[in-house]
Amino acid sequence: MGDGKFLSFWTDIWACEMPLQMKFPRIFALVVKKTCMTADFGVYCNNLWRWNIQIRRRLFHWEIPIWNFFQSLLFNFQSFGLEKNWIKWLGSGDGLFSPKSLKISTCPSFHFICQLGKIAWIGFAPHKVEAFVWLLLHGRVLVKTEIDKRGIIPSPDALCPFCTLETWSP
């Protein structure tokens, strides 16, 4: 949660899988502050964060279990005072975003290719073979273009397989 100064208490997703406004509509209808930040709903007392949610009236008996569930959910979250708010990327173990972690989370086969790419550099083959295997695994070998440059095949066969208008170059 960080310091809570830039995190909307009711409309941001931070305490559960949906905004608290949607999870606890009855409590939201009863509270005094509806548009404040998370830091505005608590205070530090003896180095502990204490939630202070003010409601407009006393609770009915049927509202007490809802209120208790709401309080128990908030009890698990503490403000960390001076620490700034940050977004945690769930695609990696350290919570930090990287293009590689995005590719791994959206394309599981990429992780397998990354592991093969590490094996390619172990040193069992000459360096130029390892480099070729690495290019092959990452789809970077320009076979048709290189063959066309050397004049091995006629130019029409070196055309792009998608548009058949230009020389193939991925």
Question: Residue 64 and residue 79: Cα distance in Å, rounded?
Answer: 25
Q: How far is CA 110 from the centre of its chain?
A: 17
Residues 78 and 38 in one domain: yes
> Is residue 132 a part of any domain in this protein?
yes
Which of residues 15 and 87 earns the better pLDDT score?
Answer: 15
Domain boundary residue, one of 87, 120, 135:
87
Question: 34, 65, 87 — which closes off a domain?
Answer: 87
**Residue at which a domain ends, from 87, 117, 143:** 87
More confident: 96 or 161:
96
Task: Let me know whether 47 and 104 are in one domain.
Answer: no
17 and 57 both lie in a single domain? yes
Give the domain extent around 34.
Answer: 1-87
The tokens for 64 are 């007490």
Both 71 and 2 in a single domain?
Answer: yes
Q: Are residues 136 and 65 in the same domain?
A: no
Cβ atoms 37, 9 nearer than 8 A: yes
* pLDDT confidence of residue 166: 63
For residues 81 and 107, membership in a common domain is answered with no
Residues 60 and 106 in one domain: no
Chain mean position to CA 141: 32
Whether 83 maps to a domain, the answer reads: yes
pLDDT in tens, 23-74: 999 999 999 988 888 878 877 777 777 888 899 999 999 999 999 999 888 8
Residue 33's closest CA among 21, 22, 45, 43?
21
Q: What does the pLDDT average to over 75-92?
A: 60
Query: Nearest to residue 75, comparing CAs of 85, 84, 83, 67?
Result: 67
Q: Name the token pair of 121.
A: 């550099």
Higher pLDDT: 83 or 163? It is 163
60 and 114: one domain? Answer: no
CB 67 within 8 A of CB 27: yes
Please state the length of the chain: 170
165 located within any domain:
no
C-alpha 91: how far from its chain's center?
Answer: 5
Model confidence pLDDT, tens digit, residues 114-153: 666 666 677 778 888 888 877 777 777 767 666 667 666 6
Residues 71 and 139 in one domain: no
Same domain? For 6 and 51 the reply is yes
DSSP 8-state secondary structure symbol assigned to residue 9 = T
pLDDT of residue 81: 47
Q: Is the residue at 126 inside a domain? A: yes
List pLDDT tens digits, range 73-82: 888 766 444 4
**How many domains, in total, are found in the chain?**
2
Q: Are residues 65 and 112 in the same domain?
A: no
In the numeric block, the tokens 């070196």 are attached to: 158
* pTM score above 0.75: no
Asked if residue 80 and residue 36 are part of one domain, the reply reads yes
